[in-house]
């Protein structure tokens, strides 16, 4: 029997809403990037799961702060300031261009001056936010299903993160690739990645093992996955990693992506979705950490 707290997320059913939400979160994410202090690995630009959707967390505005929240229960884009001002923009079928212009006008009316680069990132054939009238779908039920799935994933990934006492990222949502991620580091610098752009070079500056969730589709490199899935990768990838024995049995290594995947439906349908996801994270971490000779005793929380 499926755990009803893990909703269905069939890619073919919500592909259009997904594409629109991806662009909407990129607009908000770029505002966060412009109004926050730079942090290693670009952690300052991520979004976070809340009790109703996704938030920027506080951003700087003069001597005050403001937040922008996606509310996928009441279906509002909410802007609040530390001065007590609050505005809401309905989340409903509308183009990326329309939402962009309304949001920027609302911020200007609140005396929040922010400029962003309006070209989307990490997508094939990007369209400027100011001109994008292609992506305009929004199904409230589908957006809510995504939110409910992220709520469960956020909870389990945080449990997994709590086992590690070394340097680790927060559990956060990256709007560029539209994925939730949690990354562990061993403290050693990684070899430079050939041909890496400045963003990629910073993101992979140190040895890491990363886990996360992606709704599926076509990635920035053109590689395609036909369903939502959890992922795991080691960077740099140690010899033997792709041949490791990973749990659960449904997990598989994709040479196209260079990552392990475990389909979301295989987790959702498991007797214990939490345990299935934790087993996937733990087994891929152990495979990567052992093969790369991480000092696990110094990096992991004692079970005693």
Burial class (CB in 10 A: 0-12, 13-18, 19+), 103: buried
The tokens describing 292, both together, are: 């790369």
* Per-10-residue mean pLDDT, the chain, length 304: 82 96 98 95 95 97 96 98 97 98 98 97 96 98 98 98 97 97 96 86 93 94 94 98 98 97 98 98 98 98 76
CA distance 182 to 246: 18
Give the tens place of pLDDT for each residue, 182-239: 999 999 999 988 888 888 888 899 999 999 999 999 988 899 999 999 999 999 999 9
**pTM, to two decimals:** 0.96
Q: Is residue 27 part of a domain?
A: no
Domain extent for 166: 151-299
Q: Is residue 1 part of a domain?
A: no
The tokens describing 24, both together, are: 């909407």
DSSP 108-153: HHTT-------S--SSSS---TTT--S-----HHHHHHHHHHHHHH
Residue 195: its pLDDT value, please? 83
Instruction: Judge whether 86 and 214 are in contact, CB under 8 Å.
Output: no
Q: Is residue 59 part of a domain?
A: no
Residue 304: its pLDDT value, please? 56
Q: Is residue 70 part of a domain?
A: no
Per cent of the chain over pLDDT 70 is 99
For tokens 């005396």, the residue is: 111
Residue 198: its pLDDT value, please? 85
Residue 257: its pLDDT value, please? 96
- How many domains does one find in the chain? 1
Residue 193: its pLDDT value, please? 85
Residue 3: its pLDDT value, please? 65
């Amino acid at each position: 029997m499926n755990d009803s707290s893990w909703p269905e997320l069939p890619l073919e059913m919500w592909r259009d809403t997904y594409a629109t939400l991806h662009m909407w979160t990129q607009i908000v994410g770029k505002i966060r990037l412009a109004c926050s202090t730079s942090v290693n690995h670009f952690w300052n630009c991520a979004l976070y799961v809340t009790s109703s959707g996704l938030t920027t967390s506080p951003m700087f505005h003069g001597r005050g702060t403001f937040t922008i929240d996606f509310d996928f229960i009441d279906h509002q884009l909410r802007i609040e300031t530390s001065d007590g001002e609050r505005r809401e923009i309905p989340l409903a079928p509308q183009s990326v261009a329309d939402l962009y212009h309304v949001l920027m006008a609302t911020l200007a009316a609140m005396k929040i001056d922010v400029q962003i680069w309006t070209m989307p990132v990490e997508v094939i054939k990007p369209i400027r936010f100011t001109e994008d009238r292609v992506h305009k779908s929004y199904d409230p039920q589908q957006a809510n299903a995504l939110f409910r799935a992220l709520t469960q994933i956020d909870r389990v990934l945080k449990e997994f993160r709590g086992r590690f006492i070394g340097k680790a990222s927060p559990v956060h949502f990256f709007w560029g690739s539209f994925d939730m991620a949690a990354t562990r580091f061993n403290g050693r610098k990684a070899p430079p990645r050939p041909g890496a752009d400045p963003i990629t070079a910073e993101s992979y500056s140190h040895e890491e093992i990363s886990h996360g969730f992606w709704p599926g589709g076509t990635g920035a490199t053109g590689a395609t996955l036909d369903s939502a899935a959890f992922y795991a990768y080691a960077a740099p990838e140690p010899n033997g990693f792709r041949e490791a024995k990973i749990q659960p049995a449904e997990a598989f290594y994709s040479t196209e992506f260079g990552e392990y995947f475990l389909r979301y439906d295989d987790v959702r349908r498991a007797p214990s979705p939490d345990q299935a996801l934790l087993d996937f994270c733990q087994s891929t971490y152990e495979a990567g950490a052992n093969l790369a000779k991480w000092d696990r005793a110094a990096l992991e929380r004692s079970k005693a």
